[in-house]
Protein backbone atom coordinates (compact mmCIF):
# COMPACT_ATOMS: atom_id res chain seq x y z
CA UNK A 1 0.00 0.00 0.00
CA UNK A 2 1.33 3.43 -0.91
CA UNK A 3 1.03 6.21 1.61
CA UNK A 4 0.82 9.84 0.51
CA UNK A 5 1.47 13.01 2.48
CA UNK A 6 -0.01 16.49 2.17
CA UNK A 7 2.10 17.31 -0.89
CA UNK A 8 0.56 14.36 -2.75
CA UNK A 9 3.46 14.43 -5.17
CA UNK A 10 5.06 11.05 -4.55
CA UNK A 11 4.66 8.08 -2.29
CA UNK A 12 5.63 9.11 1.23
CA UNK A 13 7.84 6.07 1.53
CA UNK A 14 10.20 7.60 -1.03
CA UNK A 15 10.80 11.01 0.55
CA UNK A 16 10.95 12.82 3.85
CA UNK A 17 7.70 14.06 5.26
CA UNK A 18 7.21 17.81 5.55
CA UNK A 19 6.91 19.17 9.05
CA UNK A 20 3.41 20.57 8.64
CA UNK A 21 0.36 19.76 10.72
CA UNK A 22 -1.91 20.22 7.70
CA UNK A 23 -2.22 16.53 6.89
CA UNK A 24 -0.32 13.85 8.76
CA UNK A 25 1.38 10.94 7.12
CA UNK A 26 -1.38 8.37 7.19
CA UNK A 27 -2.94 5.87 4.81
CA UNK A 28 -6.39 7.47 5.08
CA UNK A 29 -6.42 11.30 5.15
CA UNK A 30 -10.22 11.37 5.28
CA UNK A 31 -10.20 9.35 8.50
CA UNK A 32 -7.65 11.75 9.98
CA UNK A 33 -9.83 14.72 9.04
CA UNK A 34 -12.90 13.08 10.58
CA UNK A 35 -11.07 12.20 13.79
CA UNK A 36 -9.58 15.69 14.08
CA UNK A 37 -12.94 17.35 13.48
CA UNK A 38 -14.61 14.99 15.92
CA UNK A 39 -12.07 15.75 18.65
CA UNK A 40 -12.60 19.50 18.32
CA UNK A 41 -16.39 19.55 18.47
CA UNK A 42 -18.09 20.15 21.76
CA UNK A 43 -18.89 16.81 23.36
CA UNK A 44 -22.23 18.17 24.58
CA UNK A 45 -23.27 18.99 21.02
CA UNK A 46 -22.92 15.40 19.88
CA UNK A 47 -26.42 13.98 20.20
CA UNK A 48 -26.72 11.78 17.13
CA UNK A 49 -24.55 9.87 14.69
CA UNK A 50 -25.87 8.09 11.62
CA UNK A 51 -24.04 6.10 9.00
CA UNK A 52 -25.51 5.07 5.66
CA UNK A 53 -24.59 1.81 4.00
CA UNK A 54 -25.99 -0.47 1.37
CA UNK A 55 -27.70 -2.83 1.31
CA UNK A 56 -30.20 -4.88 3.38
CA UNK A 57 -32.99 -2.50 4.48
CA UNK A 58 -31.97 -2.42 8.13
CA UNK A 59 -32.06 0.32 10.76
CA UNK A 60 -29.50 -0.73 13.35
CA UNK A 61 -28.24 0.57 16.65
CA UNK A 62 -25.27 -0.65 18.72
CA UNK A 63 -23.79 -2.98 19.49
CA UNK A 64 -22.34 -5.11 16.73
CA UNK A 65 -19.20 -6.37 18.44
CA UNK A 66 -21.11 -8.08 21.25
CA UNK A 67 -24.55 -9.51 21.93
CA UNK A 68 -24.85 -7.10 24.87
CA UNK A 69 -27.18 -4.15 24.40
CA UNK A 70 -26.45 -0.54 25.36
CA UNK A 71 -27.96 0.59 28.65
CA UNK A 72 -30.44 2.82 26.80
CA UNK A 73 -31.42 0.25 24.18
CA UNK A 74 -35.14 0.77 24.83
CA UNK A 75 -34.82 4.44 23.81
CA UNK A 76 -32.73 3.54 20.75
CA UNK A 77 -35.34 0.95 19.81
CA UNK A 78 -38.20 3.43 20.30
CA UNK A 79 -36.59 6.00 18.01
CA UNK A 80 -35.64 3.33 15.44
CA UNK A 81 -39.26 2.16 15.35
CA UNK A 82 -40.52 5.72 14.76
CA UNK A 83 -37.90 6.30 12.05
CA UNK A 84 -38.74 3.03 10.26
CA UNK A 85 -42.46 3.80 10.42
CA UNK A 86 -41.81 7.20 8.82
CA UNK A 87 -39.59 5.59 6.17
CA UNK A 88 -42.19 2.94 5.34
CA UNK A 89 -44.96 5.54 5.08
CA UNK A 90 -43.22 7.20 2.12
CA UNK A 91 -43.08 4.33 -0.42
CA UNK A 92 -44.06 1.24 1.56
CA UNK A 93 -40.51 -0.07 1.80
CA UNK A 94 -40.12 -2.31 4.84
CA UNK A 95 -37.05 -2.14 7.05
CA UNK A 96 -36.13 -4.23 10.05
CA UNK A 97 -34.75 -2.48 13.13
CA UNK A 98 -32.78 -3.54 16.19
CA UNK A 99 -29.23 -3.97 17.43
CA UNK A 100 -26.71 -4.91 14.76
CA UNK A 101 -25.74 -8.16 16.46
CA UNK A 102 -29.37 -9.26 16.77
CA UNK A 103 -30.64 -8.47 13.26
CA UNK A 104 -27.50 -8.85 11.14
CA UNK A 105 -24.38 -10.44 12.63
CA UNK A 106 -21.53 -9.74 15.01
CA UNK A 107 -19.10 -7.21 13.56
CA UNK A 108 -16.02 -5.59 15.02
CA UNK A 109 -14.51 -2.18 14.44
CA UNK A 110 -17.61 -0.25 13.41
CA UNK A 111 -17.80 3.49 13.91
CA UNK A 112 -21.30 2.92 15.28
CA UNK A 113 -19.99 0.97 18.28
CA UNK A 114 -17.09 3.35 18.85
CA UNK A 115 -19.29 6.44 18.81
CA UNK A 116 -21.80 4.90 21.21
CA UNK A 117 -19.40 3.07 23.51
CA UNK A 118 -16.41 5.42 23.64
CA UNK A 119 -17.67 8.86 22.58
CA UNK A 120 -20.97 8.24 24.40
CA UNK A 121 -23.21 9.81 21.77
CA UNK A 122 -26.81 9.07 22.80
CA UNK A 123 -28.42 8.27 19.42
CA UNK A 124 -26.34 6.15 17.07
CA UNK A 125 -27.65 4.29 14.03
CA UNK A 126 -26.51 2.57 10.88
CA UNK A 127 -29.02 2.55 8.06
CA UNK A 128 -28.53 -0.20 5.50
CA UNK A 129 -30.35 1.14 2.44
CA UNK A 130 -32.27 -0.68 -0.30
CA UNK A 131 -32.42 -3.41 -1.49
CA UNK A 132 -32.47 -6.83 0.11
CA UNK A 133 -30.01 -8.47 -2.23
CA UNK A 134 -31.69 -8.71 -5.62
CA UNK A 135 -29.77 -5.73 -7.02
CA UNK A 136 -27.24 -5.54 -4.19
CA UNK A 137 -24.87 -2.62 -4.56
CA UNK A 138 -26.12 -1.82 -8.08
CA UNK A 139 -29.45 -0.24 -7.25
CA UNK A 140 -31.36 0.68 -10.44
CA UNK A 141 -31.49 4.42 -11.15
CA UNK A 142 -35.28 4.51 -10.74
CA UNK A 143 -34.89 3.39 -7.10
CA UNK A 144 -32.31 6.00 -6.11
CA UNK A 145 -34.66 8.97 -5.62
CA UNK A 146 -37.29 6.93 -3.72
CA UNK A 147 -34.50 5.60 -1.50
CA UNK A 148 -33.39 9.17 -0.79
CA UNK A 149 -36.93 10.35 -0.06
CA UNK A 150 -37.75 7.58 2.40
CA UNK A 151 -34.33 7.67 4.06
CA UNK A 152 -34.62 11.41 4.56
CA UNK A 153 -37.90 10.91 6.44
CA UNK A 154 -36.25 8.38 8.72
CA UNK A 155 -33.31 10.71 9.38
CA UNK A 156 -35.67 13.63 10.00
CA UNK A 157 -37.61 11.67 12.63
CA UNK A 158 -34.46 10.38 14.33
CA UNK A 159 -32.99 13.91 14.42
CA UNK A 160 -36.20 15.36 15.84
CA UNK A 161 -36.20 12.78 18.62
CA UNK A 162 -32.49 13.27 19.33
CA UNK A 163 -32.85 17.05 19.53
CA UNK A 164 -35.77 16.69 21.94
CA UNK A 165 -33.29 15.16 24.38
User: HSE of 70 in the Cβ direction (CA atoms, 13 Å)?
Assistant: 27
Alpha helices in 16-72, H assignment, sequence order:
29-40
Q: Residue 124: beta bridge partners?
A: 49
Burial of 133-143, coded b for 16+ CB within 10 Å and e otherwise, reads eeeeeebeeee
The residues annotated with a catalytic role in the active site are 128
DSSP-based helix, strand, coil % in the chain, nearest 5: 45, 15, 40
Amino acid sequence: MKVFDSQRSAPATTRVRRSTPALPLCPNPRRWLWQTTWRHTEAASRVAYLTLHSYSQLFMYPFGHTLDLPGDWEELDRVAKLAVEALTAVHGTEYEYGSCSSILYLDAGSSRDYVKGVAEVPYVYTIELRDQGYYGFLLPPEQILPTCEETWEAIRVAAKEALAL
